[in-house]
Amino acid sequence: MNTVLIIVNIAVFLLLMFGLFMMQKKHVSFSKRVFIALGLGIIFGYIIQLIYGATHEVTIGSIDWFTIVGSGYVKLLQMVVMPLIFISIVGAFTKLKLTKNIGKISFLVIGILLATTAISAAIGIGSALGFGLDGIQLTEGDAEAARNTQLEERVVGVENMTFPQQIIELIPSNPFQDFTGARATSTIAVVIFAVFIGIAYLGVKRKDPEHGEFFAKMIDTFHSVVMRVVTLILRLTPYGILAIIAKVTATSDYGAIAKLGKFVIASYVALILVFLVHLLLLSFAKLNPLNYVKKGLPTLIFAFTSRTSAGTLPMTIKTQTKDFGVSEGIANFAASFGLSIGQNGCAGVYPAMLAVMVAPAAGIDPTSPSFILTLILVVMVSSFGVAGVGGGATFAALIVLSVMNLPIVIVGLLISVEPLIDMGRTALNVSGAMISGVLTSKATGEFENEVYQQPNVVES
């Protein structure tokens, strides 16, 4: 009987996918299809949980099949991340788009990421204090106890990592290993390697123009092929969002979410306030924030549903270049550095809130100016090297709490609402990366204002 019900759910899912396909055939805009997929996924997933429950065999069996589409789409995006970063940055050198401003670009991108992370930490502190969050009130069940056991093992390799050691982790020692994404900082390592290749190309071009021209043509050809692959994958976005959000709504523990509702609300208030800061920064740069919201939403929605900044990277770059008018080199720098440096949600808001919540248990007054200033500085410095995949926020929280000599148990106590909050954090991380790209491009004069002003999202 259960098998028959699973087949029925799969049939309904395929029917929804067919509906999205027909919309594409009828040239319904990409943004509308993404929103429709999000809504259908929420409704379909919630109905499955309402009928069977989150842990029922039918729900688990159905979601297992949906995951082929959802996780498969994310994996395809992750597949193209490293080739895209490498080819795009080297290509920016061969097209002479980075040679004059590379130092300024790097400084501005990293500076904006760190500055917005400091602001995010301050807002996270304010939200935790404003809502009166207290970590002492949290209870530990079997799942939380198991999680904390894992964290205690993990923190051993984190707490003794100094800031210089974090910087060293960004430097590639084996770029071919980093192309596999073997380390949390592999993305930044590939960026650095690509910059060295680009600089080397400039030297070869001066001394041996013939070889330089051949290399440039080769890179241009590879770039065209990689971008075509990216385009093909991005066309699958509505289907991926449908599957991912259906899984989230079908398997979420709404009872646990209700118990920690105050923390969830406080977290999203902080995340929304930081997003408003992003829009305010655009206004200061004399750019219409409404255009940013309208054209950036499909990318932010995917980041929200997928919970992976790394998997969203091809969309992050495409949105910056095609929809916002950011130059290709800057878009790649901002998107790539945004994966491991200054993540506003995971490395800014979240660790700051947890530190405030557990400070009283350690005999510290969380309203003390010295504590708040120290915490903001620690959060900003510790944001180096946070992986842009699931678990990055946990890693950031462990670093901050360890440096501040605060108990790490609270990280495990929030496991039941972690996926829900991580969705908002990831979207904010991606927004922070895109904002740094837009502002840097504007500051360096490599910004196409007419592209930014166009009202519609460019189709993939």
Three-state SS sequence of the chain: CHHHHHHHHHHHHHHHHHHHHHHHHCCCCHHHHHHHHHHHHHHHHHHHHHHHCCCCHHHHHHHHHHHHHHHHHHHHHHHHHHHHHHHHHHHHHHCCCCCCCHHHHHHHHHHHHHHHHHHHHHHHHHHHHHCCCCHHHCCCCHHHHHHHHHHHHHHCCCCCCCHHHHHHHHCCCCHHHHCCCCCCCHHHHHHHHHHHHHHHHHHHHHHCHHHHHHHHHHHHHHHHHHHHHHHHHHCCHHHHHHHHHHHHHHHCCHHHHHHCHHHHHHHHHHHHHHHHHHHHHHHHCCCCHHHHHHHHHHHHHHHHHHCCHHHHHHHHHHHHHHHCCECHHHHHHHHHHHHHCCCHHHHHHHHHHHHHHHCHHHCCCCCCHHHHHHHHHHHHHHCCCCCCCCCHHHHHHHHHHHHCCCCCHHHHHCCCCHHHHHHHHHHHHHHHHHHHHHHHHHHCCCECHHHHHCCCCCCC
- Would you state the pLDDT for residue 144? 44
pLDDT given at position 178: 83
Q: Are 415 and 143 in contact (CB under 8 A)?
A: yes
Q: Say what the pLDDT of residue 166 is.
A: 67
Interval 142-169 mean pLDDT: 55
- Give the tokens for residue 294: 């309208």
Among the residue ranges 57-61, 118-122, 347-351, 357-361, the one predicted with the least confidence is 357-361
Note the pLDDT of residue 98.
Answer: 64
As a whole number of angstroms, the distance between CA 221 and CA 175 comes to 22
Domains in the chain, CATH or no CATH each: 2-453 (1.10.3860.10)
Q: How far apart, in whole angstroms, are the C-alpha atoms of residue 416 and residue 402? A: 22
Q: Which residue has the higher pLDDT, 441 or 227?
A: 441
Residue 99 pLDDT > 80, yes or no?
no
pLDDT digits (tens, 9 = 90+) for 261-308: 888 899 999 999 999 999 999 999 999 999 999 999 999 998 998 888
Q: What percent of the chain lies above the pLDDT cut of 70? A: 88
pLDDT at 188: 77
pLDDT above 70 (res 137): no
Give the pLDDT score at 455: 79
- The pLDDT assigned to 100 comes to 67
124 compared with 136, residue with greater pLDDT: 124
Residue % of the chain over a pLDDT of 90: 36
Is the pLDDT reported for residue 415 higher than 80?
no
User: For the chain, what is the largest distance between any 2 Cα atoms, rounded to a whole number of angstroms?
Assistant: 74
Q: Give the mean pLDDT of 406-410.
A: 75
Q: Give backbone dihedrals phi and psi of 408, rounded to 5 degrees, phi first.
A: -95, -5
User: pTM for this one?
Assistant: 0.82
At 313, the pLDDT band (50, 70, 90 cuts) reads: confident
pLDDT exceeds 90 at position 198 = no
- Check residue 143 and give its pLDDT: 47
Query: Is residue 63 a contact partner of residue 244, using CB atoms and an 8 Å limit?
Result: no
Checking if the pLDDT of 403 tops 70, the result is: yes
Would you state the pLDDT for residue 184? 67
Contact at 8 Å (CB) between 454 and 288?
A: no
Burial class (CB in 10 A: 0-12, 13-18, 19+), 307: buried
Instruction: Confirm if 309 and 334 have CB atoms less than 8 A apart.
Output: no
**Mean per-residue pLDDT over the chain, rounded:** 84
Rounded CA separation 125/348 (Å): 10
pLDDT at residue 147, rounded to an integer = 47
Q: What is the pLDDT of residue 128?
A: 92
Comparing 37-51, 109-123, 171-185, 366-380, which segment has the lowest mean pLDDT?
171-185
pLDDT band (50, 70, 90) for residue 22 = very high
pLDDT for 171 equals 81
Whole-number pLDDT of residue 148: 45
Average pLDDT in the 364-386 region? 86
* pLDDT the model gives residue 286: 93
Q: Are 387 and 340 in contact (CB under 8 A)?
A: yes
Q: Torsion angle of alpha carbons 445, 449, 451, 457, nearest 10°?
A: 110
**Sequence-ordered list of residues with C-beta below 8 angstroms from that of 258, at least 6 positions apart, any chain:** none
What is the arithmetic mean of pLDDT over 153-173?
64
Q: Which of 259-263, 377-381, 387-391 has the lowest mean pLDDT?
A: 387-391
Instruction: Look at residue 385 in the predicted model and tell me its pLDDT.
Output: 59
- Number of CB atoms found within 10 A of residue 32's CB: 13
163-188 mean pLDDT: 77
Long-range pairs for 179-186 at CB < 8 Å and ≥24 separation?
A: 179/82, 179/86, 180/82, 181/78, 181/81, 181/82, 181/310, 184/340, 184/385, 184/386, 184/387, 184/392, 184/395, 185/340, 185/385, 185/387, 186/82
Residue 256 has pLDDT above 90, yes or no: no
Whether residue 311 is predicted with pLDDT greater than 70 in this model: the reply is yes
**CA nearest to 417, candidates 261, 241, 247:** 261
